Amino acid sequence: MLKVFICGGSGYTGSELLRILALHDEVEIVGVTSEKSAGMKVSELFPAFFIYKKLKFESLNTEAIKNRADVYFLALPHGKSQQVAAELLQAGKKVIDLSADFRIKDVRIYEQWYKTQHLFPELLKEAVYGLPEIYREKIKKARLIANPGCYPTSVILPLYPFLKKKLIDTSTIIVDSCSGVSGAGRKADITLSYCEVNEDFRAYNVAKHRHTPEIEQEVGFASGSSITIDFTTHLLPLNRGILSTIYASMKKDLSTAEALEILKEQYQNEPFIQIMPEGELPSMKYVRGTNYCYIGAVVNPRTKRLILVSAIDNLVKGASGQAVQNMNIMFGIDEAKALRSLALSP
Amino acid sequence: MLKVFICGGSGYTGSELLRILALHDEVEIVGVTSEKSAGMKVSELFPAFFIYKKLKFESLNTEAIKNRADVYFLALPHGKSQQVAAELLQAGKKVIDLSADFRIKDVRIYEQWYKTQHLFPELLKEAVYGLPEIYREKIKKARLIANPGCYPTSVILPLYPFLKKKLIDTSTIIVDSCSGVSGAGRKADITLSYCEVNEDFRAYNVAKHRHTPEIEQEVGFASGSSITIDFTTHLLPLNRGILSTIYASMKKDLSTAEALEILKEQYQNEPFIQIMPEGELPSMKYVRGTNYCYIGAVVNPRTKRLILVSAIDNLVKGASGQAVQNMNIMFGIDEAKALRSLALSP
Amino acid sequence: MLKVFICGGSGYTGSELLRILALHDEVEIVGVTSEKSAGMKVSELFPAFFIYKKLKFESLNTEAIKNRADVYFLALPHGKSQQVAAELLQAGKKVIDLSADFRIKDVRIYEQWYKTQHLFPELLKEAVYGLPEIYREKIKKARLIANPGCYPTSVILPLYPFLKKKLIDTSTIIVDSCSGVSGAGRKADITLSYCEVNEDFRAYNVAKHRHTPEIEQEVGFASGSSITIDFTTHLLPLNRGILSTIYASMKKDLSTAEALEILKEQYQNEPFIQIMPEGELPSMKYVRGTNYCYIGAVVNPRTKRLILVSAIDNLVKGASGQAVQNMNIMFGIDEAKALRSLALSP
Amino acid sequence: MLKVFICGGSGYTGSELLRILALHDEVEIVGVTSEKSAGMKVSELFPAFFIYKKLKFESLNTEAIKNRADVYFLALPHGKSQQVAAELLQAGKKVIDLSADFRIKDVRIYEQWYKTQHLFPELLKEAVYGLPEIYREKIKKARLIANPGCYPTSVILPLYPFLKKKLIDTSTIIVDSCSGVSGAGRKADITLSYCEVNEDFRAYNVAKHRHTPEIEQEVGFASGSSITIDFTTHLLPLNRGILSTIYASMKKDLSTAEALEILKEQYQNEPFIQIMPEGELPSMKYVRGTNYCYIGAVVNPRTKRLILVSAIDNLVKGASGQAVQNMNIMFGIDEAKALRSLALSP
């Protein structure tokens, strides 16, 4: 049994790890931290997770926990993960960091967008961006995984094959994404209270969302060039899910069928990617509670633009499910273990 | 123009007064307070209320405001209203208190359920319970209105004629009520955050909700006896509305048609009460955004119990709309002024 | 591998069987019917269930299917199941019927409430009511399971130990239940369209819901007497879940702690029953997507009434999950196989 | 009193006319049609509209109704409005058509996108596109109003001043819009049933939505050139509202402040347009139930693209409210009469 430790277990990505790992028969959760709920049983804070009757939240003390597990999931705020990750790596442990701390390779860009100093630039080089569909081989050997952001996962996967094949004009990429409320985290915040979100829809962080440089980095790597995009995010009145609509002018005329073929070819052996048939597009409900990413494509014959639509569950493929997928890969476990649930539908 | 002042304008009952009074052509809002938002324009905190471009939230200072208006709405927390009401009455003003401070006539019961001392028991005697369908004549002459609670409004109105006519066994009353989330107020509270309420439904404060003694007092007055009820409240995943289902054994066999006739007779001239035809029951959407109360009745022929169902908008007939109705009555204005909107449907 | 056939796979209970059984490693789905979608692949109608790429809906022909599987789930409308069940039993197969056709032991009561003739009264005697917590031993040997209704499951489980111990006055039972919309089935119906249900809440079928006689039968069996109840159902604006609030006067004074002790004692070894600690009550979100039933209790010290609150997912413990639980029991498979998922939360 | 007739009163735009006109004290509704509900009282089909106790739905017979009113609202399906409008105009009446039949000036484009023949091309020339902010003077004298589509209203208003001033590259316009479910109409359709829409989000009609040519026509008129756009629509899990996010490259560098200034200048005297301050964007809840259009702007300094965000209520400013606004203008009534309600918030 692989021993697993969760740092930051009372937020939505932490609790999602608890939910997913409950079905994983090759791991044992040996500890979980929460500053606010330290001392409480997991089953008290989350009665839905009644099986964790003995596991108690503890305060995070890296020194005290560094010898208790084989792999550590860090579901901590950005800026806080860095230090914990560094100390656990120092102790010879493997770390899967769900924060943004190790995603951006260029320290200056990280510091500019996250307004925080990066104390471990040398670890940035080592960290592997944990998108298995692109970096699986590196993940197998990684000690430190920078688990991708939710929006970037939904944007990079559909764009990747078109960029690699240099089929689109990279100066024309516009990404319009919508996320459910769990993406904002579990917190007391009046703007996230039920009555303020329900029956509402709004754009936020327009032209300044922190996932912008992460997307730009990865689509840049794929295309071999520097890319600047427009990325707009909206808040949907629902719990889970991201749907991204991506627009780009094509360098070469493709039909919708050809665009879909490119996606199918790229992802034909991927366990978690589903390409929609021509004429159909992903719906958020296809991925609710699952680790799947559904992708559809339309070429508008009137404007010659490629329109890609993708759907993921922001807490699963967009966070904790992908983290478990990375863990499975790192430890030679069946990659889909504990991640096979179909969408809760309706 | 009647000069109106709102104490506590940044919560949901306060903002609802701002919304309703925007359509009232015989009043002018001369001031509004908010401790948290003091100094902000109303239109800044609530961009939806753009017409209030000049009105600024101010900190509450009774001394400073007591000469600025004719009538004061107090949308303050219970315990806080008492003092403000007393000082405004002292200054010769009329007060409509939306808190619970003047609803319970028996000081001991108030103090026991609200865990707060009552400093003005003599005002309790003077205060008129602001349910126009029962106390209209007293309201006309009142200086101090105890505006009813949302749940009590939805429960007292349907039960009232049956109690007055002594048709039900008062020891058997069970009230099962469900409210939208705005009933909990506008606040940063993790248990009221979107993801915790959406797709969820739960009972709360079972056997100890503070509206229990208010309901018991008024149904007791109606029946001329002391009544103890079971009152259970649930939180609905929607913004506005209360639906109450009320059960009671009958002292005398009535048919559904006879029960409906009793309701129609009682409320035939009431501008805000609608009785459903036999075979149909109220739906919350009939009252969304309105001051109406819809009531339906079924007699279960197998158990001989009377089942009453009522629907109101908790922020309108359950709070601010009823407060404006009371103001209209107190000042000889058309009772339905600013309150004629039909339900926003869908 | 156990061969499983699903009759009626395009409704919500049928599709829920497809979802749950996708994680069951001891069964193989050999066929699924749908009249409306005959000829379509399951993965076409339900893109979320992409793994069923080969399985096609077929038209129901009992003669043609009776030799293809070991066990047949009937997710058909009541009245239609009877004949199919009879023919499959005749062919020596085991049948789990999710309709109401075999739940009511008294033919006259069935015919009166369901307005349909019962053609196989002799099978009614043989049919086992599939509530494992009460009838597990009989289920082990059953050929024909009458899988319980969703509301009855949520009502019978909390009441059962109190009735068996004769602790409550059976003439005083009032059940107030609320269900998510999936309980009404998958169909084009204007009253179930999004805009008519969203932000709404309404009571329906008051004093005449067809689950009334099913509940009365089972609580009657538990108490050894004939019981008539008031049972009111409401439609909640959410997809899944039932929460029932149950009121009854007690024959003997119990404290809340004692009431909870009775529940714990009854269900201590049950894999799918969770009893809430004193002071807490079930929330629908604890059971979303799961086979669990959460139960809480409060004794109102002022009225001496026992108030029970239970929560289930109407499609899982209230239908398809319980059906799979029954199948597991019938075939000697681990009872919780494929049913261990924790709640999708948030 | 102006006599008003509504053709097609049982859908959502028809019922919204009934809701809005209930507060209009200079009009009288003399008739309303519905094929499905002919013979029913309006208050029976819509208990929320209890004030219409005498008004009955009738079957549409143009001959029989043409002398009963001064102005006719046609809330009929496209293709059906044409004939009715022509006959009413022939009878000397004024017509406000909420369908698409008279919006597209080029018959071939209409026929190509709507797959219906246009029988009255000469009326197309006369019809005035009923967007008061652009065509107010023409509306004053019009006999036939082509009331704008919901999406086009939300797109044309923000783009208009930038196009008129030739500030954007018209080949780069991308519109990403999201609508609440009422936009799809009131009908029994399984894909619009509650469980299929709730907790879901999906794109639909990508690159082929019928509002595309209407938007292209009007932005083309504004810019004096032919424009082809990408227009993507999504279905939001909420009742009312459209939020459009519009992207375009600028011909001339503008700051966000300058872009906002252009909007403010254009719309400074408009009663129903609100421009957001810099740093803030419209939220759907600001317009719920109202005739207002809120517009915000951001210039992305990294891509030099202009991003416009607008919010309207699809049933009010996007349909019936705008229709009443047009009626008020046509008949010399205060333009905002019956349209002053602030947003129902929360």
Report the phi/psi class of residue D332: left, alpha or beta, with left for phi > 0 and alpha for psi in -120 to 50: left
d(CA C94, CA C327): 9
- pLDDT tens digit string along D297-323? 999 999 999 999 999 999 999 999 999
Mean model confidence pLDDT for chain A: 98
What's the confidence (pLDDT) of residue D274? Answer: 98
What's the confidence (pLDDT) of residue A12? Answer: 98
Confidence of residue D5 (pLDDT cuts 50, 70, 90): very high
CB contact under 8 A, A194 and B12: no
CB contact under 8 A, D199 and A241: yes
> Strand, helix or coil at A84?
helix
Name which of B12, B55, B344 to mutate to probe chain D: the one with the most chain D Cβ atoms within 10 A of its Cβ: B344
- pLDDT tens digit string along A136-188? 999 999 999 999 999 999 999 999 999 999 999 999 999 999 999 999 999 99
What's the confidence (pLDDT) of residue A41? Answer: 98
Burial class (CB in 10 A: 0-12, 13-18, 19+), A36: exposed
Q: Which residues of C touch A292 (CB under 8 A)?
A: 50
What's the confidence (pLDDT) of residue A344? Answer: 98
d(CA C49, CA A151): 24
CB contact under 8 A, B247 and C282: no
Can you name the residues that pair with B58 across neighbouring β-strands?
Answer: B33
d(CA B35, CA B73): 16
Helices (H), chain D: 12-21, 42-45, 62-65, 81-90, 107-114, 121-126, 132-141, 150-164, 194-197, 211-223, 256-267, 321-330
Going by C-alpha positions, the residue among D72, A199, D23 that lies closest to residue B239 is A199
In order, the DSSP letters of C254-315 are: --HHHHHHHHHHHHTT-TTEEEPPTT---BGGGSTTSS-EEEEEEEETTTTEEEEEEEE-TT
Residue D250: which residues within 8 A CB-CB, separation 6 or more? D167, D168, D169, D299, D304, D305, D306
Residue B261: which residues within 8 A CB-CB, separation 6 or more? none
CB contact under 8 A, D234 and A245: yes
> Strand, helix or coil at B29?
strand
Q: How many CB pairs under 8 A join A and B?
A: 60
CB contact under 8 A, C340 and A239: no
CB contact under 8 A, B192 and A194: yes
- pLDDT tens digit string along A279-334? 999 999 999 999 999 999 999 999 999 999 999 999 999 999 999 999 999 999 99
Q: Could you tell me the end-to-end alpha-carbon distance of chain B, in angstroms, rounded to an integer?
A: 35
In order, the DSSP letters of D4-60 are: EEEES-SSHHHHHHHHHHTT-TTEEEEEEE-STTTTSBHHHH-GGGTT-SS-BEE--
Q: Which residues of D touch C196 (CB under 8 A)?
A: 194
D151-315: CATH class? alpha beta
What's the confidence (pLDDT) of residue D23? Answer: 96
Burial class (CB in 10 A: 0-12, 13-18, 19+), A290: buried
Instruction: Examine the residue annotation and report whether A293 is marked as an active-site residue of this protein.
Output: no
What's the confidence (pLDDT) of residue B216? Answer: 98
Q: What letter represents residue C79's amino acid?
A: G
- Establish how many alpha carbons lie within 13 A of residue C248's alpha carbon, considering only the half-sphere containing its beta carbon: 29
d(CA A316, CA A321): 4
Decide if D52 contacts D43 (C-beta within 8 A): yes
d(CA A130, CA A323): 8
Can you name the residues that pair with C243 across neighbouring β-strands?
Answer: C178, C311
- pLDDT tens digit string along C247-291? 999 999 999 999 999 999 999 999 999 999 999 999 999 999 999
Q: Which two tokens stand for residue C153?
A: 């499951």
Q: Could you tell me the end-to-end alpha-carbon distance of chain D, in angstroms, rounded to an integer?
A: 35
Residue A274: which residues within 8 A CB-CB, separation 6 or more? A282, A286, A292, A293, A294, A295, C47, C50
- pLDDT tens digit string along D194-207? 999 999 999 999 99
Q: Which residues of C touch A193 (CB under 8 A)?
A: none
Cis peptide before B132 (omega within 30 of 0): no
Closest chain C C-alpha to A277 CA, distance in angstroms? 10
- Homologous superfamily of B151-314: Dihydrodipicolinate Reductase; domain 2 (3.30.360.10)
- Stated as kind and residue range, the H or E segment containing C158 is helix C150-164
What's the confidence (pLDDT) of residue C314? Answer: 98
- pLDDT tens digit string along C198-234? 999 999 999 999 999 999 999 999 999 999 999 999 9
Q: Look-up: residue for tokens 């899988």?
A: C147
Question: In Å, how far are A90, A124, A213, C282, D17 from A103, measured between CA atoms?
Answer: 19, 8, 10, 40, 53
Mean model confidence pLDDT for chain C: 98
Name which of B37, B182, B195, B314 to mutate to probe chain A: the one with the most chain A Cβ atoms within 10 A of its Cβ: B195
Question: Which regions in chain B score pLDDT beneath 50?
Answer: none
- Nearest-Cα residue of chain A relative to residue D227: A303
Q: How many CB pairs under 8 A join B and C?
A: 139
d(CA D288, CA B18): 16
Return the axis-axis angle of helices B256-267 and B150-164, rounded to nearest 10°.
110
Report the phi/psi class of residue D115: left, alpha or beta, with left for phi > 0 and alpha for psi in -120 to 50: left
Cα angle C42-C47-C52, degrees, rounded to a multiple of 5? 40
Going by C-alpha positions, the residue among C253, C313, C254, C250 that lies closest to residue C283 is C313
What's the confidence (pLDDT) of residue C6? Answer: 98
What's the confidence (pLDDT) of residue B286? Answer: 98
Q: What's the sign of the alpha-carbon dihedral D178, B286, D14, B19?
A: negative
d(CA B144, CA B89): 8
- pLDDT tens digit string along D36-62? 999 999 999 999 999 999 999 999 999
Q: DSSP strand E in chain A: where?
A: 2-7, 27-33, 57-58, 71-74, 94-97, 128-129, 144-146, 174-179, 202-204, 230-235, 242-249, 273-275, 293-300, 305-312
What's the confidence (pLDDT) of residue D192? Answer: 97
Share above pLDDT 70 across residues of chain C, in percent, rounded to a whole number: 100
- Stated as kind and residue range, the H or E segment containing B293 is strand B293-300
Query: Chain C residues with CB-CB distance to B under 8 A?
Result: 172, 174, 176, 178, 195-196, 198-204, 206-207, 228-230, 232, 234, 236-241, 243, 245, 247, 281-285, 288, 298-303, 305, 307, 309, 346
Q: What is the CA radius of gyration of chain C?
A: 20
B2-126 and B151-314 have identical folds: no
CB contact under 8 A, A344 and C22: no
Q: Which chains touch A (3 or more CB pairs under 8 A)?
A: B, C, D
Give the single-character DSSP code of A283: B
- Nearest-Cα residue of chain D relative to residue C193: D193
Q: Which CATH architecture has domain B2-126?
A: 3-Layer(aba) Sandwich (3.40)
- pLDDT tens digit string along C30-72? 999 999 999 999 999 999 999 999 999 999 999 999 999 999 9
- pLDDT tens digit string along C86-106? 999 999 999 999 999 999 999
Closest chain A C-alpha to C247 CA, distance in angstroms? 24
Going by C-alpha positions, the residue among D95, D105, D182, D109 that lies closest to residue D147 is D95
CB contact under 8 A, B199 and C309: no
Q: Which residues of D touch B47 (CB under 8 A)?
A: 274, 276, 280, 282-283, 286, 294
d(CA A27, CA A2): 4
Domain boundaries, chain C: 2-126, 151-314
Closest chain C C-alpha to B213 CA, distance in angstroms? 12
What's the confidence (pLDDT) of residue D230? Answer: 98
CB contact under 8 A, D309 and A243: no
Closest chain B C-alpha to A33 CA, distance in angstroms? 19
Q: Which two tokens stand for residue D264?
A: 């403010």
Confidence of residue A250 (pLDDT cuts 50, 70, 90): very high
- Stated as kind and residue range, the H or E segment containing B23 is none
What's the confidence (pLDDT) of residue A324? Answer: 98
